[in-house]
Amino acid sequence: MTQRIDYIKQAPNFFKKFVEFNTLLHDGSIEESIRDLVAIRASQINGCGFCLDMHIKQATLHGERPLRLHHLAAWRESALFIPRERAALAWTEALTTLSPQGVPDEVYERVRSQLSEKELTDLTYEIMAINAWNRVNVAFKVVPGSFDKEWGLDKANLS
C-alpha cells in the first residue's frame, strides 16, 4: 500500500493544532488504559490499520496484557474487562457508529453509572479525536508502522 498524500505536509498548521488538542486529552480525567482501549476499539470499527497498529503498540508499551488486546473485538463476551471499561467501550461503539436514532438511553445510563459528568465529557472528546484520526489515516492510506522508529513504537517489539 502506498500513502496517497502527505496530509501533515499539506496542512501543517491543522496537524499541529490537532496534535495539541490530542495532547490536552492526555491531561483529562480518563485513565491511560481506557484511552488505549477506546482508541483500539474505534480503530477496529473504522478499519484504520495505521491507528490500530499504533495504538496496540502504545498499549503494549503502557503494560496492557496481550490477551485483553486479543479479546477487545469481543469485549462483551470476555470476562477480562471491568464495568468501567465496558461502559467506555459501549460509549465508543455508540459514538463511532452513530445510529439514525442517536445514542440509546440505555447506553448513556450505563456509562453514567460508571463515569462522572466530567469523565463522560472527556471520554467523548477522546472518541471524537480517534475517529478523526481514523478518518484522515484511512482517507490517505497511511501505512501502518511507518512512524514506529520516529515515535518509539519499535520498542513494543511487535514488528
Q: Mean of the pLDDT values across residues 6-34? A: 95
pLDDT attached to residue 159: 76
What domains appear along the chain, each with residue ranges and CATH number? 12-156 (1.20.1290.10)
Average pLDDT in the chain: 96
Q: Is the pLDDT of residue 114 over 80?
A: yes
| Tens of pLDDT, residues 71-97 | 999 999 999 999 999 999 999 999 999
Q: Is the pLDDT of residue 58 over 90?
A: yes
Q: Which residues contact 148 (CB under 8 A, 6 or more apart)?
A: 57, 154, 159
Q: Mean of the pLDDT values across residues 116-129? A: 98
